[in-house]
Chains A and B, each alone.
Chain A
């Protein structure tokens, strides 16, 4: 790290995000008052803060409003199929271990259709950072029930309220073996940024849930007002408790939203284990390869 004295431009005509976003695609498709733009700023701030070269970052997303992040962030970015961002990213990461590989996708994408990939990637401790934007609903398709939709909330497929209990994302991911687990809301811009820095630095499976306002479908269906109202609501309801047990902090419509970093216990990643284990074993038998040949 080098300390540079730099004079900030007097009248910068450029928004500071301009180098990190595909400005030729602005304005983005997100609704007024949607938290996704704020979350994206936190992500790029975190990459800057972590001192990672943007050329060496790959962002992979599934399908949904959140997944459109991949189309706006100016790094190598892959907008894949619904639910499959994690295995796609696993392919990138294992092929080129030098890349910081980040999955940014929605709650439905990662926990419904992609749930199986998520728990297995956590179990294997694949060196990925997964940022899940939890807006409690399927935003892109118009507000259907998600595996995160709170009990008794309305959705377009729950016109008489939802009676399925939602997943507690941080608990599920922790019990699957993730080595870094945090939860924040879109209002916690600085803490969320710091958390993303820690997550990308963790050489293993990191997971961050960002509770984020979806005014257009979640708030409208549930009479929660504007994006600002939802944000205020999150602000009032959230408490920070790093020592909370992830199993004890489910999400619902009334109780406090417990935020914090709940797990930060680095363990050898999938690749480190393969490297020292399998590849280590093989290297003891350097002649394996040759012994296979027949003249």
Chain B
């Protein structure tokens, strides 16, 4: 209210004031007219610009400036002002922005050294090393060890661990924590990812930096809870409805889970989106040597905060980088964000043009930065007749197959996709002009093979080597595929 005038009638002098009606805002509900305790207001016979009858003051002398009309009006169309000198109790509001325009401070981990460590645990340690101090999750095999490790580790570092009622909540919570300025992540497997997908889309749309770990198991549905697969690869690209760019990293060992989890956080911070670690039950449950370097040797990237003043900041204003500058909750920017298509102010904008610009940017901020994001490992690619394209655990099972094929005199190259998304489209195209074809073994019935085929066509052929999961390829099947491609057999 403009002022907190005392109601008249207490024997003191009458308060002088005014009733102000913003006629064009009024929607004619008559709440003010009906509920004025002193019948001060009536309904005007005039129409406002929207075609409603606004109220009018008919008995000004009866008004006590109680403010009820102002408070009950749902359209902020009527208010009162008083000329009375009033004593106003103004609570002192202290403004403290201790950590403005940066991520919330964290307690650093001192853990370092060489360990014999399980993949899931290495993932948790990678997150901690990256500066993540918020985990929201729900137990599921084969990812539960990540949650368990975080429950053990975060309290040592004054971090937040919370086990939610489901994966939907887990995903929502990490986006919330991210907007509060804390690096956050969750870890799950197929069924959990399926539940998370709506909020993964929210994270994409709001551009929330965070990390989602999928320790893949045999699918679909409950599938093979304790066994493995690589069947959620397309889900990591297309899981939530709509178009958006995806970054998905595929580690092949516990050491690599550690390293790539740090990288996943760095990429999430840089490009402002949920980044996926697409591992599987073998790598997650495998125990191998993991080296954790001292914290000062680990390269960490934090999201770019705005340096604009609170009145100039627009949460989705795009500079050269295609990535909007960040502001966290509580820094005084008082900004809005929504899962609706929004303009640079973060306000809903339902136009075709806005939809186009938002969606295009969500895709292109990843595809146009592919050189910065993409990681591929290539061995013996130059002069190869057949290139084996692999990722994750399958990158280990192909090795004996490649060796055997080489012994048979075939020139075989090895291409490991450390980032499956964004897909190395140009690189495959380029190589397709130089080789006979690609062999793509994976623990699904042909997902990434389709991508390779799309890029290799028509210059080179692509042969997938499928496996439904729950076991690993018979390396002879891979050798056979290599031979078929090398000898041009259909």
Interface residue total, chain A, C-beta cutoff 8 A = 93
Q: How far is the CB of B455 from chain A (nearest CB, A)?
A: 34
Q: Which of A45, A50, A77, A89 touches B176 (beta carbons < 8 Å)?
A: A89
The reply to whether the CB of A142 lies closer than 8 angstroms to some CB of chain B is no
**Binary contact readout B383-401 vs A (1 if CB under 8 angstroms, 0 otherwise):** 0000000000000000000
Known A3-B89, A89-B176, A282-B156; judge A81-B111 contact (CB<8 A): no
Task: Give the nearest-CB partner of A190 in chain B.
Answer: B71
Instruction: Verify if B7 is at the interface (C-beta below 8 Å from A).
Output: no
Question: What A residues does B359 contact at CB under 8 A?
Answer: none
CA distance A279 to B158 in the complex (A): 7
Q: Size of chain B's interface in residues, with CB distance under 8 A?
A: 97
| Stretch of B20-28, B265-273, B316-324, B416-424 that contacts chain A | B20-28
Question: What chain B residues lie within 8 Å of A199 (beta carbons)?
Answer: none
Q: How far is the CB of B72 from chain A (nearest CB, A)?
A: 5
Would you call B227 an interface residue if the criterion is a C-beta within 8 Å of the partner chain's C-beta atoms?
no
Stretch at the interface among B162-170, B361-369, B467-475, B477-485: B162-170
Q: Do A120 and B165 touch across chains, with their CB atoms under 8 A apart?
A: yes
Please, how many angstroms separate the alpha-carbon atoms of A193 and B330 in the complex?
A: 23
**Contact between A30 and B74 (Cβ–Cβ < 8 Å)?**
yes
B301 at the interface (CB under 8 A from A): no
Q: CB-nearest residue of chain A relative to B30?
A: A228
Which chain A residues lie closer than 8 Å to B334 at the CB level? 54-55, 74-77
Decide: B336 and A77 in contact? CB cutoff 8 A: yes
From A6-14, A149-157, A158-166, A252-260, the one touching the partner chain is A6-14
Q: Do the beta carbons of A293 and B113 come within 8 Å of each other?
A: yes
- Whole-angstrom distance between the Cβ of A44 and the nearest chain B Cβ: 10
CB pair A51 B176 closer than 8 Å: no
Chain A: minimal CB distance from B200 (Å) = 10
Among the stretches A16-24, A167-175, A202-210, A238-246, the one at the interface with B is A16-24
Check A15 against B76 for contact (C-beta < 8 Å). yes
- Of A6, A78, A274, the contact of B337 (CB 8 Å cutoff): A78
**How far is A106 from B20 in the complex, measured between Cα atoms in Å?**
32
Complex contacts, B238 vs chain A, CB 8 Å: none
How distant is the Cα of A51 from the Cα of B91 in the complex, in angstroms?
Answer: 5
Residues of A within 8 A of B202 (CB): 80-81, 84
Chain B neighbourhood of A34, CB < 8 A: 74
B165:A12 contact, CB within 8 angstroms: no
Contact partners of A282 in chain B: CB under 8 A: 155-156
**A11, A36, A231: which has the most chain B beta carbons within 10 Å?**
A231
**Given contacts A80-B202, A92-B179, A95-B134, A189 and B72 within 8 Å (CB-CB):** yes
Quick check: is B338 within 8 A (CB to CB) of the other chain? yes
- From B3, B181, B335, B336, contact of A96 by CB (8 A): B181
3 pairs of A and B residues whose beta carbons are closest in the complex:
A91-B176, A51-B91, A37-B74
22 A-B pairs within 8 Å (CB atoms) are namely A6-B86, A11-B18, A15-B76, A16-B1, A16-B70, A26-B25, A27-B50, A31-B27, A33-B31, A55-B330, A58-B329, A79-B340, A80-B199, A90-B173, A90-B176, A91-B174, A91-B176, A92-B177, A95-B134, A95-B182, A228-B34, A294-B112
**Given A93-B176, A99-B330: 10 more A-B contacts, CB < 8 Å:** A2-B90, A15-B22, A17-B79, A45-B1, A83-B168, A84-B202, A95-B181, A193-B71, A228-B31, A279-B158
